[in-house]
Amino acid sequence: MAAYLKFFALDEAPFEPSVSERFYYVGRAQHEAMQGLSGALSSAGAICVLSGPSGSGKTALVRMLMRRLPERMRLITIDDPRLSAQMLLATILRASGVLATSLESVAELTYKLRVLLEEQSKHKQLSTVIIDEAQGLDDEVLEQLRLISNLEGQYGRMINFLLVGQEDLTARLNTSRHRMLAGRIRLQISLQRFNREETAAYLSFRLQQAGCHDPVFTDKAVLKLCRLCGGLPRLINASADLCLKLAAARERRQVSAALVKKAFFSAQAGLRARRRPLLHCWRALRRCVTPVNIVSTATAALAACALCAGLLFLLRPYLPLHSFDYALRSEPAIAAQIEQALPALLPGRTEQSRLQAHFVSAVSSALFYSDALTTLSALEGVQTAEGTALSCATLPSYALGCAVKDRSLAELAELNYPALLRLYDDNLTPFYAILLHLSADSADLIVGDLIFKVRADYLRREDFYPSTVLFVQPPEADARELVGFSFAAGEGELLELLRKLSPQGRAFLRERLTRACERGSWGMCDFSQVYNLSSGLFNYAAHAGLTRFDADLYLRLAKDAGMDRPYHLRPQAESVSSAIAGHSPKVAKGD
């Protein structure tokens, strides 16, 4: 395992079974389930059901839910559903510290439970019983569970139940025998399998949490993995982990669809039978194709054809001769509904639907931080070879630095720099976009290889966004002049030093002292963070009143003091597109 961690620059294995909150992926279904169960179980007397296929992540969701429930709640977990009614009561009592055995009667155990729950209610405590694999509970245990949930004291009902099981659990609860229990269920949630987009987001999330920000799985590999694993996280983890091992052994930076297929069949039982499906089909066909079977099958087929032909001949006068399409369009009401639905079915029919389709497509391809960082670096003029992945650790070789921080929209507007943001689509899937310009009404975003003009309300859904801003480092020769500089000699020594700097170095200082420092963005103008420059330079300039560097002092230093500021200080969507070498994003306006 250590070999493939080093090959993909991973800090730890990304697809190991883990209940760590850092590796838990929260998609739309998981978010809705977590919110719904937290709200339903916060009050007493609730019976909730969480169902889903095996391997869909029910146990992991319950572990995360247990960490988020209030501290006043006492949690009792039962992992083995092979219980009787007495064993269920005795297990709840023993887990709460009360001496009880399954040899006692149901009435005695129920009385002990009532006394316990009433004592907890006086101290504002609430017990919640979580039963895993609940599809295996006997019918008498389910009825006893309903009776326990009916217990009421001075403060109302006093206990909750969460039933976790496979899809059979929902079918059992909907039978007539458990009609009364089904009527008491406050919330019923079913975890669905991942689709292709959710599978891609899940793989990207786990890899990024483990330290890899590069696209490892190709689009075809993601689709193949989703189909083979049926969208189940447990199978996806096992297959994806083996994919990384095989790719590292073959020294491949990306996982292909063929490698996914090999890894999946290697990770599953019955490998030999699945690798030779044609042979098994041929053997089954040989067993079926006998002279007796051929004659009987042919006779049945001829009889069915003759029956269909006779019915068609008899019913021909009553059958319409028009096509199905003609029948639909001949009705004005149906034709109007078809025309109304066509824009949603065919995105290219209107300008608005076409832009929305482009935006959705761009979001689905903007899942990787490294791709967005490469585009942001291109705005600063960085030219990279195709396939080269940039990171904040490699940017200093291009004379650029990273400023990574959670910023509000007001801070981003004040900085007035292009910023790489992590956003979420309607399915709560994270993607990366570059904010070029922000006004009161609209914003320009680079998503994928397109520039979109969106409403500003689209970015006001969060208070703070994880953002990355790039700033230009000074030339190395100028940096060496500035290292260890002190202002003990006053302004004269500052002037002498600045005369030695190149025009680029003076422009760098001018920008920092007039732009960033005036606005109090200390992380952008503290020179100790830029090539280990002396922090005394900034301190002296700030306290000596030289923050208006370009208005006074700069005019005495260089003939080219009137040069324009870099283009990105006043970004415009139509001018930025020409500055991105090798990317050429197109401007699109839409909501």
Residues 183 and 94 reside in one and the same domain = yes
Percentages helix, strand, coil for the chain (3-state, rounded to 5) are 55, 15, 30
Q: How far apart are CA 268 and CA 238, in angstroms?
A: 9
Which span out of 157-166, 435-444, 454-463, 520-529 was modeled with the highest average pLDDT?
157-166
Q: Count CB-CB contacts under 10 A for residue 261.
A: 17
Name the more confident of 348 and 176.
176
* Phi, psi of 589, rounded to the nearest 5 degrees: -105, 130
Q: Quick check: is 255 in a domain?
A: yes
Task: Extract the tokens encoding 145.
Answer: 């569970």
- Pair type for strands 430-438 and 419-424: antiparallel
Q: DSSP per residue over 229-286, as a string?
A: HTT-HHHHHHHHHHHHHHHHHTT-SSB-HHHHHHHHHHHSS-HHHHH-HHHHHHHHHH
Strand partners, 447: 450
Residues 444 and 573 sit within 8 Å (Cβ to Cβ): yes
In this structure, which amino acid lies at residue 376? L
In this structure, which amino acid lies at residue 297? T
Helix (H) or strand (E) holding 186: strand 185-190
Reported as a pLDDT band with limits 50, 70 and 90, residue 546 is very low
pLDDT tens-place string over residues 460-503: 878 888 888 887 666 667 766 665 555 555 556 666 776 677 76
Question: Which single residue is written with the structure tokens 């092979």?
Answer: 82
Rounded (10°) CA dihedral 76, 79, 84, 87: -40
Q: Could you tell me the residue range of the domain that residue 552 belongs to?
A: 476-557
Out of 444, 472, 500, a domain closes at: 472
- Residue 69: DSSP 8-state: S
The number of distinct structural domains making up the chain is 5
Provide the pLDDT for residue 21.
Answer: 79
Out of 428, 445, 472, a domain closes at: 472
Q: Quick check: is 150 in a domain?
A: yes
Reported as a pLDDT band with limits 50, 70 and 90, residue 281 is low
Out of 246, 275, 304, a domain closes at: 275
Reported as a pLDDT band with limits 50, 70 and 90, residue 437 is confident
Residues 380 and 470 sit within 8 Å (Cβ to Cβ): yes
- Pair type for strands 185-190 and 47-51: parallel
- Pair type for strands 450-455 and 156-157: unpaired
Residues 213 and 184 reside in one and the same domain = no
Residues 162 and 142 reside in one and the same domain = yes
Task: Extract the tokens encoding 61.
Answer: 């969701």
Residues 437 and 375 reside in one and the same domain = yes
Strand, coil or helix: 221: helix
Residues 312 and 321 sit within 8 Å (Cβ to Cβ): no
Residue 50 has pLDDT above 90, yes or no: yes
Residues 510 and 550 sit within 8 Å (Cβ to Cβ): yes
* Phi, psi of 469, rounded to the nearest 5 degrees: -120, 135
Reported as a pLDDT band with limits 50, 70 and 90, residue 364 is confident
- Residue 514: DSSP 8-state: I
Q: How far apart are CA 133 and CA 137, in angstroms?
A: 8
Residues 505 and 475 sit within 8 Å (Cβ to Cβ): yes
Q: How far apart are CA 509 and CA 506, in angstroms?
A: 5
Q: Count CB-CB contacts under 10 A for residue 92.
A: 22
Residues 480 and 531 reside in one and the same domain = yes
Q: What is the CATH number of the domain that holds 107?
A: 3.40.50.300
Provide the pLDDT for residue 320.
Answer: 55
* Phi, psi of 41, rounded to the nearest 5 degrees: -85, -5
Q: Give the residue-averaged pLDDT of 218-239.
A: 91
Q: CA separation (Å) from 564 to 69, 88, 560? A: 57, 78, 10
In this structure, which amino acid lies at residue 510? R
Predicted TM-score (pTM) of the model is: 0.49
Residues 429 and 29 sit within 8 Å (Cβ to Cβ): no
Strand, coil or helix: 48: strand
Question: Which single residue is written with the structure tokens 């503290």?
Answer: 526
Reported as a pLDDT band with limits 50, 70 and 90, residue 360 is confident
- Pair type for strands 586-589 and 450-455: parallel
Question: Which single residue is written with the structure tokens 């991105």?
Answer: 580
Q: What is the CATH number of the domain that holds 238?
A: 1.10.8
Residues 221 and 233 reside in one and the same domain = yes
pLDDT tens-place string over residues 517-528: 444 443 344 443
CA 180 to chain centroid, in Å, comes to: 39
Q: Quick check: is 31 in a domain?
A: no
Q: What is the CATH number of the domain that holds 427?
A: 3.90.70.10
Task: Extract the tokens encoding 282.
Answer: 């041929």
Name the more confident of 511 and 112.
112
Residues 262 and 388 reside in one and the same domain = no
Q: Quick check: is 313 in a domain?
A: no
- Supply the mean pLDDT for the chain: 76
Residues 170 and 87 reside in one and the same domain = yes
In 408-511, where do the E strands start and end? 419-424, 430-438, 442-447, 450-455, 465-472
Question: Which single residue is written with the structure tokens 């966004």?
Answer: 465
- Residue 470: DSSP 8-state: E
Rounded to the nearest 10 degrees, the angle between the axes of helix 233-249 and helix 219-229 is 130
Residues 466 and 495 reside in one and the same domain = no
Q: Quick check: is 580 in a domain?
A: no
Q: Count CB-CB contacts under 10 A for residue 324.
A: 8
Residues 146 and 95 reside in one and the same domain = yes
Which candidate, 146, 130, 147, 148, places its Cα nearest to that of 81? 130
Q: Quick check: is 20 in a domain?
A: no
Strand partners, 187: 48
Name the more confident of 249 and 353.
249
Residues 453 and 530 reside in one and the same domain = no
Q: How far apart are CA 31 and CA 24, in angstroms?
A: 11
Q: Quick check: is 107 in a domain?
A: yes
Task: Extract the tokens encoding 65.
Answer: 């839910």
Q: Quick check: is 389 in a domain?
A: yes
Reported as a pLDDT band with limits 50, 70 and 90, residue 418 is confident
Residues 329 and 400 reside in one and the same domain = no
Of the ranges 189-198, 210-219, 493-502, which one carries the lowest mean pLDDT score?
A: 493-502
Question: Which single residue is written with the structure tokens 């290697």?
Answer: 266
Which candidate, 466, 391, 455, 388, places its Cα nearest to that of 431? 466
Provide the pLDDT for residue 562.
Answer: 38
pLDDT tens-place string over residues 1-44: 557 888 888 888 888 877 577 888 888 888 899 999 999 998 88
